[in-house]
Each structure stands twice: as C-alpha cells, then as structure tokens.
C-alpha cells in the first residue's frame, strides 16, 4: 500500500491526516503549533511528528507518495509563503522546499482556504464537479476557487479572497482589511453579530435576542428558525448580501457549485434557503441555476485538500 499525508496548519494546532492512495482517511490527529522564535520550529516539528508516526506503523518513507499542506497565508505558485503573522513568520518561507527536505517525501503547499476548497472538491460536497467555489463563513470569510479540479491561486497567491468582495458603498465602518463594505462585514460570524446589534438599536420589536448578554451568530439563526421576526430580519439581510456576493462570483467564473462551510454554516439549510433568492436576483440568467450546497467535510476539509494536492491529478 502507498500513502499520502495531509497537513492543515493553523496558529494553534496543525491537523494531520494519513490517507491511502485512493484518498481514504486512515488516521488523523493534531500537533501543537510552536510559534516561538519566529515559528522556526514549526516545520521541523511537523516532520518529526509524521516520521515518528510512520516509524511506529512500520511504514517506510519510500511508501509515502507525498504530502500537501494548507497554510493561513498567501502561498505563491512556486511554494513560497510571503509572511504569515498567525505562525510568527515575518519573512518569506520556502515551505514546499523545507517540508520536502525535513519530511523526506515531496510536499505541495497552498493557502488554507484554497486547500480546504480542494478537499471539498476532492472528497466532499463538490466531489464530481470540475469547478466549484467554497465560501467559509467563520470569524471572517475565506474560501477558495477550483477550476478544472485545480486551485485558482492567483499571481502572488492571493486568489479567492472572497471575504473582501465589495458589496456596499454606504458602509461607514471599516473592515479588517482596511476597506469598507466587504461581504465579511455582513456574513461572517463577527459580521452577523454586528448586524444584530444594529438591528436591536434600530428596531423596537420584541425578540429573545434582547435578553442575551452576548449574542452569537448561532443565536441569530437559532431564533430565526424558531420563528422570531427580528432574528429572521437579520438573517434575511445576512443572506441577501451573501447571495449578492455569490452572484458576483458566478457572473465571472460560472462554477458548477457553491459550497458553504465554516462555523456559521452549521445553521444548516436555512442559510441556503435564504441566500438563493438574492443570488438568483443578481446573477446573470445563465448562472442562476448554480447549485448552492453545505460543506460535508467539516474540520477535515484541510487535510483532504492536502492529499488532494498530491493525489487529485
């Protein structure tokens, strides 16, 4: 049997998955991310961890086809990370070259959002499609674009910055990127809470949300599903803006499918149902039938995408 390894590198931990050559997940675990001393130990630690695992399972390095890693930063087509604050990397890191050197098998790298999208395309909700766009609704909004089963990386690794599509010229508050009116300000978990507080100040209607000391995005969608009028109003605004952003993407790329993931997506079908009308309103007529589905792989999308970089050719 031949093997492949997927790494999903984050600021707190790195998820590691070992797969067989068909892309079946055999084992997975997490490794603490050591960001001390400018993150210089991150790559050696990951390599030592996987080599220790392989040794314990009596798997020779020569039986590993390769590995893939998602990184929380821009990765150029030639495998260079140009700084990554979340990892303590303040200068360029040749991550593909270093991971290959330390691990002893070839390693490919990509931005974590792009790699997660590849995972959903390879073995998740988008399996069987040639083109898809994943939108990850978390604290911020990330995602990735897959064309002909390959990640759309962009000239300097910044392709697929979905969260910073501009959708509102009248926004007065600033997005984390420095601009104003990005979709991240409305449909991320943080953005949903922001809209909830705005609505509570503007509207006088009763709502269980008024009794909550710390409102979350989950609270908004839970109350919307329970029939609360104000929560539904907020959820409608969130999804109307999300639908508009998806229509912009569709009009340019015309993918087969959108896949919605991230913590906010756990609200379920309500997000799809409330997003589609706006999407269809703004999308070019030939794009209106594009599927919009919920992600299937959850937190494993990154490790599936990592092996997809090696096996999904």
> Are both 90 and 167 inside the same structural domain?
no
What is the value of pTM for the model shown?
0.92
Q: In terms of Cα–Cα distance, which of 103, 42, 41 is closest to 71?
A: 42
Q: CB within 8 A of 191, min separation 6: which ones?
A: 141, 184, 185, 238
Query: What confidence score (pLDDT) does residue 86 get?
Result: 85
> Are both 226 and 90 inside the same structural domain?
no
> Are both 159 and 115 inside the same structural domain?
no
> Are both 156 and 74 inside the same structural domain?
no
Full pLDDT tens readout for the chain, 313 residues: 999 999 999 999 999 999 999 999 999 999 999 999 999 999 999 999 999 999 999 999 999 999 999 999 889 999 999 888 889 998 899 999 999 999 999 999 999 999 999 999 999 999 999 999 999 999 899 899 999 999 999 888 888 889 999 999 999 999 988 999 999 999 999 999 999 999 999 999 999 999 999 999 999 999 999 999 999 999 999 999 999 999 999 999 999 999 999 999 999 999 999 999 999 999 999 999 999 999 999 999 999 999 999 998 6
- Report the run of H or E that residue 275 belongs to, with start and end: helix 269-282
> Are both 172 and 252 inside the same structural domain?
yes
> Are both 150 and 280 inside the same structural domain?
yes
> Are both 208 and 266 inside the same structural domain?
yes
Tell me how long the chain is: 313
Query: What confidence score (pLDDT) does residue 309 get?
Result: 96
> Are both 143 and 267 inside the same structural domain?
yes
Instruction: State the number of CA atoms in the 13 A half-sphere of 198 facing the CB.
Output: 16
> Are both 210 and 116 inside the same structural domain?
no
Q: Whole-angstrom Cα distance, residue 80 to residue 68? A: 14
End-to-end CA separation in angstroms for the chain: 19
> Are both 193 and 275 inside the same structural domain?
yes
Query: What confidence score (pLDDT) does residue 158 get?
Result: 83
Query: What confidence score (pLDDT) does residue 110 get?
Result: 94
Q: Three-state SS for 308?
A: helix
Query: Residue 97 to residues 92, 100, 105, 197: CA-CA distances in angstroms?
Result: 12, 5, 10, 47
Domain that holds residue 153: 129-295
Query: What confidence score (pLDDT) does residue 312 get?
Result: 84
For the chain, what is the domain count?
2
> Are both 90 and 164 inside the same structural domain?
no
Query: What confidence score (pLDDT) does residue 90 get?
Result: 87
- Alpha carbon 288 to its chain centroid, in Å, reads 24
Output the domain CATH number for residue 239.
Answer: 3.30.420.40
> Are both 102 and 139 inside the same structural domain?
no
């Amino acid at each position: 049997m031949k093997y492949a390894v997927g790494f999903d590198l984050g600021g707190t931990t790195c998820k590691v998955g070992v797969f067989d050559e068909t892309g079946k997940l055999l084992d997975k675990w997490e490794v603490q991310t050591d960001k001390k001393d400018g993150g210089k130990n991150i790559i050696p630690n990951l390599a030592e961890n996987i080599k220790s695992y392989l040794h314990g399972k009596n798997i020779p390095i020569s039986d590993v086809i390769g590995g893939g890693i998602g990184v929380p930063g821009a990765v150029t087509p030639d495998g260079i990370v140009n700084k990554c604050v979340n990892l303590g990397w303040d200068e360029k890191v040749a991550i593909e070259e270093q991971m290959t050197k330390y691990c002893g098998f070839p390693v490919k790298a990509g931005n974590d959002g792009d790699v997660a999208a590849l995972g959903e395309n390879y073995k998740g909700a988008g399996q069987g499609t040639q083109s898809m766009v994943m939108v990850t609704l978390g604290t911020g909004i990330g995602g990735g674009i897959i064309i002909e089963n390959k990640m759309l990386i962009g000239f300097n690794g910044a392709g697929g910055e979905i969260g910073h599509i501009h959708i509102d010229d009248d926004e007065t508050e600033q997005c984390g990127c420095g601009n104003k009116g990005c979709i991240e300000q409305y449909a991320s978990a943080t953005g949903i809470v922001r809209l909830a507080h705005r609505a509570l100040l503007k509207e006088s209607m009763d709502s269980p949300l008024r009794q909550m000391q710390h409102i979350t995005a989950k609270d908004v969608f839970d109350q919307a599903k329970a029939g609360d009028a104000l929560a539904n109003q907020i959820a409608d605004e969130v999804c109307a803006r999300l639908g508009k952003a998806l229509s912009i993407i569709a009009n340019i790329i015309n993918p087969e499918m959108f896949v919605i993931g991230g913590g906010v997506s756990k609200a379920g079908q309500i997000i799809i149902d409330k997003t589609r009308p706006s999407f269809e309103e703004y999308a070019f007529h030939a794009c209106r039938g594009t599927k919009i589905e919920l992600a299937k792989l959850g937190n494993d999308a990154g490790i599936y995408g990592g092996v997809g970089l090696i096996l999904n050719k």
